Structure 1
Amino acid sequence: MGDQRVADHPESWEVVRSAEPFVGAKTATRVDWLAMPGSEGTEVVARERMEHPGAVAAVALDDDGRVLLLSQYRHAVGHRLWELPAGMRDEAGEPPLRTVQRELVEEAGYRAERWHRLVDFFPSAGFSSERISVYLARGLSAVPESEIGFVRVHEEADMEAAWLPLDDAVDAVLGGRLHNGATVIGILAAATAARTGFASLAPAED
Structure 2
Amino acid sequence: MDLEERSIDTEQVYDGVLLDVRRDRVRLPNGQESGREWIKHPGASAVVAVDDNDRVILIRQFRFGPKRVFWEVPAGKLDHGGEDPLVAAKRELAEEVGLEASSWKRIGTTYPAIGYSDEWIALFLARDLEAVEVHTDDDEFVEPFWLALEEAVRKAQRGEIEDAKSCVALLVAAAALEDERLHGG
TM-score of the pair, normalised by structure 1: 0.82
Which residue of structure 1 lines up, in the alignment, with residue 15 of structure 2?
23
The offset of 1:161, in angstroms, is 1.2
Query: How large is the RMSD of aligned CA atoms in angstroms?
Result: 2.0
Q: 1:116 to 1:201 in 2, by over 3 A?
A: farther
Q: Which amino acid aligns with 2:151?
A: D
Q: Give the stretch that moved more between structures: 58-67 or 164-173.
A: 164-173
Matched-pair contact (CA < 8 Å) for 2:96–2:136: no
Which residue of structure 2 lines up, in the alignment, with residue 72 of structure 1?
61
Which residue of structure 1 lines up, in the alignment, with residue 137 of structure 2?
152
After superposition, residues 110-189 of structure 1 pair within 5 angstroms as 110-143=99-132, 145=133, 150-154=135-139, 156-157=140-141, 159-189=142-172
Which residue of structure 1 lines up, in the alignment, with residue 28 of structure 2?
36
Matched-pair contact (CA < 8 Å) for 1:193–1:200: no
Q: Which segments of structure 1 move beyond 4 Å, counting only runs of 4 or more?
A: 198-202
Which residue of structure 2 lines up, in the alignment, with residue 4 of structure 1?
none
Gaps of 5+ in 2: none
TM-score of the pair, normalised by structure 2: 0.91
Matched-pair contact (CA < 8 Å) for 2:107–2:123: yes
Gaps of 5+ in 1: 1-10
- Greater per-residue strand proportion: 2
Q: Which amino acid aligns with 1:15?
A: S
Matched-pair contact (CA < 8 Å) for 2:42–2:81: no
Which residue of structure 1 lines up, in the alignment, with residue 90 of structure 2?
101
Percentage of identical aligned residues: 34
